[in-house]
Amino acid sequence: MENLKKHISMKSFFIFLTLLVVSVLAATCPLYLAPFTIISVTNVFIYVVITMSWALFSGPTRYISIATAAFFGMGIYTSALAGELIPFPLVVCLGGVVSFVLALLVGLSTLRLKGMYFTIFTFGLSELIRHAVLWWEVTKTGTVGRWVVSIDHTPVYYTMLIIFVVTLAVCYATGRSRYGLALKGIGQSEEAADHMGVNVTSVKIGVFALSAFFAGATGATMATRWTYIDPSIAFNPLFSFMPILMATFGGIASITGQIIGAVALTLLADLLLTEFPYYYMLIYGVILVIVILFLPGGIVGLGRSIKKL
């Protein structure tokens, strides 16, 4: 018993120490790293945040959302429209709120139905918005693209760091709250959860909208680095597919898995993108199929089963 206590306290001490070192490094790295590295790290944060926010809802409930690109794109357009009018931190929050409201509307219309209707609805959502925005820009404003107020890479890095920490905290807290348990219950048996007194529809809509907030805030932040956007950049369907792929690869069920998946595949993309643009998507497809067929728990699941041996 004594030994066990000692063991636990040693372990938590090490975790605390690692966290401390990581956060000091994360907070100070723009001071000594090259701008290129900072931009790469920011890029990793984007994918980590959209993967975690996707998995916050779709992980436990198994309601597969294919709408991340829509929320991300709404954030980008918020930044383009409001960037000159209000200060940058407000733009980021506004981007999140706009996506939150969109997700609320999507949830209200589809989440009372069976899971497949939700998936089907989200599947075309970003294409729908892209077409609508394109039509609006061409017929009403007369241009296709827009300029976004540019912001230096260091403030963007810190903003992404803050969004990452907040997303991590919210995902962690939700997973351990009664909402997290309710979501898990919905994923296992929606009817049973309903009978246990869970307000199934409002929990689903609430958490879905919350998860969209982070994707929207990320979009609003990143638009300032791209400076020029048009509907096909902002609503690129890849931003819907990537979180699904990354979370599945790392392990949907745990935050560690989601982060591992997002970091690994973003770095792989950085390596392959410039030289083999089509091969890297092909490799992603093969990875996804292999994980679904042979590694149901993703990388984290694989690690666990190796440990058991």
Partner 1 sequence: MSFTFYLDVVIGGLILGGLYALTAVGLSLQYGVARVLNVSHGEFIMLGAFATYSLYTLFGISPLLSLVITGPLIFIIAFLIHRTMFQRIRRTSPSIAAFEGNSLLASFGLLFIIQNIALLTWGSDIKGYHYMAQSINVFGTSYALNRLIALALALSTGIAFYLFLIYTRLGKAIRAAAQDRDTAQLMGVNIHKVLGLCFGLGALMAAIAGSLISMMFEITPTIGLPYTIIAIIAVVLGGLGNILGSLIGGLILGLVGNVVMCFSPALSLVAYYLIFILLILLKPSGIMGK
Tell me the per-residue interface mask from 245 to 264 with partner 1, x by CB under 8 A, - otherwise: x--x----------------
Coil/strand/helix, residue 228: strand
> Under the criterion CB under 8 A, does residue 132 sit at the interface with partner 1?
yes
Q: Is the Cβ of residue 89 or residue 277 nearer to partner 1 in the bound state?
A: 277
User: Phi then psi for 229, rounded to 5 degrees?
Assistant: -135, 155
Among 76, 222, 223, 244, binds partner 1 (CB under 8 A): 244
Buried b (16+ CB within 10 A) or exposed e, 163-187: bbeebbebbeebbeeebbbbbbbbb
User: Judged by CB under 8 A, which of 123, 158, 179, 226 binds partner 1?
Assistant: 123
Angle at Cα 22 formed by Cα 17 and Cα 28, nearest 5°?
Answer: 125
- Output the smallest distance, CB 193 to partner 1, in A: 14
Min dist CB 2 to partner 1, Å, is 42
Task: Tell me the two tokens of residue 70.
Answer: 């829509």
Site string for partner 1, 270-309 (x = CB under 8 A): --------xx-xx-xxxxxx--xx--x-------------
Shortest Cβ distance from residue 142 to partner 1 (Å)? 14
Q: Which of 104, 128, 170, 272 binds partner 1 (CB under 8 A)?
A: 128
What distance, in Å, lies between the first and last C-alpha atoms of the chain? 26
For partner 1, the binding residues in 169-228 under the rule CB under 8 A are none
| CB closer to partner 1, 88 vs 241 | 241
Residue from the set 20, 27, 86, 116 that interacts with partner 1 by CB under 8 A = 116
The reply on whether position 64 binds partner 1 by CB under 8 A is yes
User: By C-alpha distance, which of 213, 183, 196 is closest to 59?
Assistant: 183
DSSP state of 30: G
CA angle 62, 269, 208 (to 5 degrees): 25
- Asked if 145 touches partner 1 (CB under 8 A), the answer is no
Nearest-approach distance from CB 114 to partner 1, in angstroms: 8
Segment contacting partner 1 by CB under 8 A, of 22-30, 146-154, 193-201, 238-246: 238-246
Cβ–Cβ under 8 Å, residues 58 and 67: no
What Rg, from alpha-carbon coordinates, does the chain have?
A: 20
Give the H or E element holding residue 147: strand 146-147
CA-nearest of 81, 75, 90 to 217 is: 75
Vertex 236, ends 222 and 294: CA angle to 5°? 105
Could you say which of 17, 86, 113, 144 contacts partner 1 (CB under 8 A)? Answer: 113
By CB under 8 A, name the binding residues for partner 1.
62, 64, 66, 109-110, 113, 115-117, 119-121, 123-124, 127-128, 131-132, 134-135, 138-139, 237, 241, 244-245, 248, 278-279, 281-282, 284-289, 292-293, 296
